[in-house]
Structure 1
Amino acid sequence: MADDEGRQRRHHFLVVAYGVQSHVNPSRVLAHRLTQLGVDGSVLATLSVQVAAHRRMFPSVDGDMETTDGVISYVPHSDGLDDGSTPKDAEDRARRRRASSESLSTIVSRLADRGRPVSCIICTMASPPVLDVAREHGIPLAIYWIQPATVLAVSYHYFHGYDEVIAAHAVNPSYEVCLPGLSRPLQIGSFPSFLVDTSGSEMAKAINDVFRELFEYIDQWRPKILVNTFNELEENAVIEMKQHLDMFVIGPMVGSSKEERIHLFKHDDAGKKRYMEWLGAQLDKSVVYVSFGSITKQTKKQMEEIFRGLQQCGRPYLLVLRKDGLDDDDDSHSFENNAHSQGMVVDWCDQLDVLSHPAVGCFVSHCGWNSTIEAVVSGVPVIGVPNMFDQPTNVHLVEEEWGVGVRGERSSDGVLTGAELARCIGLVMDEGEKAMAIRERARALKELAQAAGNIDGSSERNLLDFVKTIKAHDTFQ
């Protein structure tokens, strides 16, 4: 595509991500994939996160400077909380929104002045400041839905007429609700936590307010919706939501195990060499990999139960326990020092490389969507121990819809006991009929995921179709 003087026009995507691990990695993969669709640099991509997250992503970069990995650029924006603190109340959140909008608006103007005008802004999930900036500058906006299409369907219908029936039964986790796009009723206990919160949590209220505004924006402005899933994984939900939204299914956006990834936690080559060599010394499909993500913290009692369960099952294990991953004053190294001879404890790891290793036989996970879809891509059975956000729904998909794992049930005081963990590990790793069926289904989904993500796969074609719609928009401006 050329301009009036015959010069090749470049299309520039500004991807704005919330500065946490679960948003940054799929956003980076998307930005990279977008540039690969261009010819001779005709598609550019810039990834922007808050200043505090940018500093953690690039600790060796001076201050808050723009940087590049040779493929995409990284430009931080300020949310007014550059020290990484969180807003305390609605007034703080309003100030944060204003600061983010002003900073992102400045970035858009600065990129235009440099000859790199933004053709489209893409934001992860719900980002009110980005909605403001897109309207202000008249730039097309796309929403990057980094949770499953099923959660998109549940959230959409919640804000389109189902909120009252769901709220009326929110205290009954076993109550079933039938929603369009779901192949079976969904229990209240498997809904995204913020939609069925009964504690009066300020966080849940804030998230609901943000999502309500998002769907009002979608209804009015009809932005493109990019969903990190693939058709064969959530066919019913995809078909349903395409009736309501201008949606493009572009997953799995997990990158390649050969690609360098962004880590917001300390991760060095020496540490990786140590755990990868340890995995290499284990038998195929023998290792229990345990990681509860980048947000959830564990109590001392919970960690003691996890160690008890791992010891009881008698299998080698790799356990991720961040230094800040305990919900009290206990030192994570005290657990590391007491690890049993069959296991290894690390502060953080390159999860996709671990899941791709032939020694890993199952994944004990909180079931955030990144972790869930990485397990699917790697063909690894899952033991889901959900905590919040979309995690309960993801575990429902793992166990009830796909049959690639089981849910670990917590006790009445909210703890996954060692006995329950050992039971679940046996269910997915022993030689029983159920375990064999889970492993076979995991292998089958892995093949479907790889086919969808290939260069000529369905998701890659969908992403190209999305880019073409943005180019068409540019043509008629």
Structure 2
Amino acid sequence: MVQQRRRQHFLVVSLPAQGNINPALQLAKNLSRSGGGGGAAVTFATTISGHRKMFPSGSPPEGPVSFLPYSDGYDGGFDPVTGDTEGYMAQIKVVGYETLGGATRSLAAQGRPVTCIIYTLLLPWAADLAQELGVPSVLFWIQPATVFGVYYHYFHGFDGLISSHRDDPSCPVELPGMPRLRIRDLPSFMATPAAAQYAFVLTSFEEMFRTLDREVVENEKNNKKKKKKKIKVLVNSFEELEKEQLAAVETMELIPVGPLLPSAYTDGKNHEDTTFGGDLLKPDAKETYVEWLNGKEDRSVVYVSFGSFTVLPVPQREEISRALAESRRPFLWVVRGGREGAEAAAAAEKGKLVEWCSQVEVLSHRAVGCFVTHCGWNSTVESLLCGVPTVGLPQWTDQPTNARLAETEWGVGVRAEVNAGGLLEAAELRRCIELVMKDDGEIRRNGEAWSRRAREAVKEGGSSDRNLMAFVDSLEMAQCPTQLDLE
């Protein structure tokens, strides 16, 4: 008798950080449309404090994705700026494992057993939970494949080489399968003289890669007589963007399923899917900035934002303010942590300051001509898909690598140079803005070309769409169907 394939139930687990939640939630939406028939069941899990920020009114809206908050031991919220981040990571490992495990068992008791756990960065305990539950787990890498490769090689024999050259930012670093990089281009946790203060972060990354290595060993042991299969890692990138880097780690299959953006900005078919749906920060009313953008000429506006985490010091805001005022171009500036230092630019009456906004909506607006950015990966792929050239001012984590890729590998932006004190001066920012704002410049042409490729990748039948469908199919084929459809 032919048994019916059971319906997949994915549990997508994320840290309560905007850079994690946005792509993970969009992946959850895309998974809910996969698997044929009625699609896969998907439950999105983040911490209680993150869940409350996402849905301040109480219950989440009805939709294809269910939501499951778990405790990290800080249900009132955790401030990574003032709090003990090392202690937090230790706490979430214990409390998160326990509370998410209990919630997952409750789902099974309700007739909705989880069949696969997908987890974002720095949550390797989710893989341990999956092993305990007897279901597969898959890492969702929310940074570029290049950064995955850099971390992999760092923890597999290159840590000494990199650590011994931290004092020389221009020192070249050649890693297998990676583009030519310098020390300054590597993730900040491993590459700066102050990297020691982030030792606990590197420890968390190392634990995550040890978990992957353990899965490689188990996979090889279980498939001795079969064709060797690689363990799978989902990546928020696309084949055309990082083809060589995606194939650089022989024991792992990096599966590009991005760029993960709301479908209204990719294929344009679902006009209701305009937001990620997981804002931790309350955005300004859209009318305050969208209507303002509507009144500006095409490609005339300089958009400035450094993400949800970074708060620039006042001297840096003053330099940016001076550059914007002197550029005499209209600008939209997301100012976090107070507006001191930004008043001069606002006084020029050509710009608008906001506390937070829907970034993908801004970048897709016809009036935006360039993006001054910290080069977080979400911001980078959003600007790529929207074809907006960038001026990079990377701050930490993967941002230096992203800035390097945007400038030298894809030719869609420039990295602004800071002075000896680490300050980006107004004159340098002005120079970079004028360079990328040229309508007939190579940077803009490259941006338009990559925009077309990114949209092709995520549309129905595109490379990323096919990859996600094949991933779901591979899980279904690997699991013995012991029951009928879950619902």
Could you state the TM-score of these two structures normalised by the residue count of structure 2? 0.89
Contact 1:2/1:9 (8 A) holds in 2: no
Distance 2:293 2:89 in 1: 44
1:304 maps to amino acid: E
Do the aligned partners of residues 198 and 333 (structure 1) sit closer, same or farther apart at CA in structure 2, a change above 3 Å counting? Answer: closer
Deviation, 1:2, is 7.8
Residue equivalent to 2:100: 104
- Kept in 2, the 8 Å contact 1:381–1:438? The answer is yes
In structure 1, the gaps of 5 or more residues are: none
After superposition, the Cα gap between the structure-2 partners of 1:68 and 1:134, relative to the gap in structure 1 and judged at 3 Å, is farther
Alignment check: 8 A CA contact 2:314 2:341 kept: no
Q: How far apart are the structure 1 equivalents of 2:378 and 2:190?
A: 20
Matched, 1:220 2:234: no
3-state SS of paired residue (2:21): helix
1:73 to 66, 69, 91: 66
- Contact 1:126–1:143 (Cα < 8 Å) also in 2: no
AA at the equivalent of 2:76: D
User: Higher relative contact order at CA 8 Å, sep ≥6: structure 1 or structure 2?
Assistant: 2
**How much does 1:38 deviate?**
3.1
Instruction: Pick the aligned partner of 1:305 from 319, 324, 328.
Output: 319
Candidates 135, 139, 152, aligned match of 2:135? 139
In the alignment, what sits opposite 1:193? 188
Q: Quote the offset at 1:60 in angstroms.
A: 0.2
**Does the 8 A contact of 2:346 with 2:352 survive in 1?**
no
Q: Structure 1 residue aligned with 2:335, among 321, 327, 330?
A: 321
Moved more, 354-363 or 212-221: 212-221
Would you say the 8 A contact 1:141–1:224 is kept in 2?
no
Alpha-carbon distance, 1:16 to partner? 0.3
1:117 equivalent in structure 2: 113
Q: Does 1:375 align with 2:369?
A: no
Cα 1:452/1:115, change in 2 over 3 Å: same
Confirm whether residue 280 of structure 1 aligns to residue 280 of structure 2. Answer: no
Q: Using a 3 Å threshold, how does the CA distance of structure 1 residues 32 and 90 change in structure 2: closer, same or farther?
A: closer
- Give, in angstroms, the shift of residue 199 of structure 1: 2.0
The 2-side partners of 1:384 and 1:472 are apart by 44
Given that residues 35 and 473 in structure 2 are in contact (C-alpha distance below 8 angstroms), is that contact kept between their aligned partners in structure 1? no
Q: Which residue number in structure 2 is paired with residue 34 of structure 1?
A: 31
2:446 is aligned with 1:451: no
Q: Is the 8 A contact 2:170 2:182 kept in 1?
A: yes
Q: Structure 1 residues 421 and 44, CA, compared in 2 at 3 Å: closer, same or farther?
A: same
Give the SS at the match of 2:119: strand
Q: 1:335 to 1:39 in 2, by over 3 A?
A: same
The one-letter code matched in structure 1 to 2:206 is R
Aligned to 1:163: 159
SS in 1 for 2:100: helix
- How many residues of Structure 1 are paired with residues of Structure 2 in the alignment? 456
Q: Structure 1 residue 181: deviation in Å?
A: 1.4
CA contact (8 A) 1:321 1:332 kept: no
Distance 1:310 1:89, change over 3 A: closer
1:177 equivalent to 2:173? Answer: yes
How many Å apart are 1:332 and its aligned residue? 5.3
Q: Is the contact between residue 315 and residue 341 of structure 2 (CA under 8 Å) also seen in structure 1?
A: no
Query: 1:2 and 1:280, CA in 2 relative to 1: closer, same or farther beyond 3 A?
Result: farther
Distance, in Å, in 2 between the alignment partners of 1:417 and 1:146 is 31
CA pair 278-30 structure 1, distance change in 2 beyond 3 A: same
Q: Assess if the C-alpha contact under 8 Å between 1:339 and 1:345 holds in 2.
A: no
- CA gap 1:455/1:92 in 2 versus in 1, 3 angstroms: closer
- 1:240 corresponds to which of 248, 255, 259: 248
Residue 126 of structure 2 aligns to a residue whose secondary structure is: helix
**What's the counterpart of residue 40 of structure 2?**
43
Question: 1:436 aligned to 419, 441, 450, which one?
Answer: 441
Supply the AA of the counterpart residue of 1:364: V
1:265 and 2:281 are equivalent in the alignment: yes
SS at match of 2:233: strand
**Can you give the 5+ residue segments of structure 2 that lack an aligned partner in the other structure?**
217-230, 266-270, 483-487
CA distance in 2, matches of 1:358, 1:334: 25
- What is the rounded CA distance, in whole Å, between the counterparts of 2:152 and 2:388 in structure 1? 30
- Looking at structure 2, the residues matched to 275 and 145 of structure 1 have their Cα atoms a distance apart, in angstroms, of 32
- In 2, Cα distance between equivalents of 1:336 and 1:311: 7
Structure 2 residue identity aligned to 1:438: I
Kindly provide the amino acid, as one letter, of the partner of residue 15 in structure 2: Y
Asked if the contact 2:46/2:68 (under 8 Å) is kept, the reply is yes
Q: Distance in 2 between matches of 1:386 and 1:459?
A: 27
C-alpha displacement of 1:298: 1.1
Which residue identity does 1:254 align to in structure 2?
L
- Output the CA distance in 1 between the equivalents of 2:26 and 2:8: 18
Q: Which residue of structure 1 aligns with residue 57 of structure 2? A: 60
> For the residues of structure 1 that align with 2:212 and 2:128, how far apart are their CA atoms?
13
- Alpha-carbon separation, structure 1, partners of 2:458 and 2:476: 23
What fraction of aligned residue pairs are identical, expressed as a percent? 42
> What TM-score comes out, normalization by structure 1 length?
0.91
Task: Confirm or deny that 1:345 pairs with 2:353.
Answer: yes
Cα distance between partner residues in 2 of 1:10 and 1:52: 30
Rounded to whole Å, the distance in 2 between the matches of 1:321 and 1:42 is: 40
Between 297-306 and 437-446, the greater mean CA deviation after superposition: 297-306
> Separation in 2 of the partners of 1:58 and 1:399?
37
Q: Give the AA of the match of 1:113.
A: A
**Which residue number corresponds to residue 206 of structure 1?**
200
Pairing partner for 1:253 from 250, 260, 285:
260
1:83-111 C-alpha deviation (Å, 9 max, x unpaired): 11256265553333110000110111011
Shift of the 332–133 alpha-carbon distance from structure 1 to 2, 3 Å rule, reads: farther
- 2:238 corresponding residue in structure 1: 230
Tell me how far 1:160 sits from its aligned partner: 0.9
Q: Measured at CA, do residues 300 and 139 of structure 1 come closer, stay the same or move farther in structure 2, by a change above 3 Å?
A: same
The corresponding residue for 1:421 is 429
Provide the C-alpha distance between the structure 1 equivalents of 2:86 and 2:307, rounded to a whole number of angstroms. Answer: 27
* 3-state SS in 2 of match to 1:226: strand
Residue range with higher mean Cα deviation, 439-448 or 68-77 = 68-77
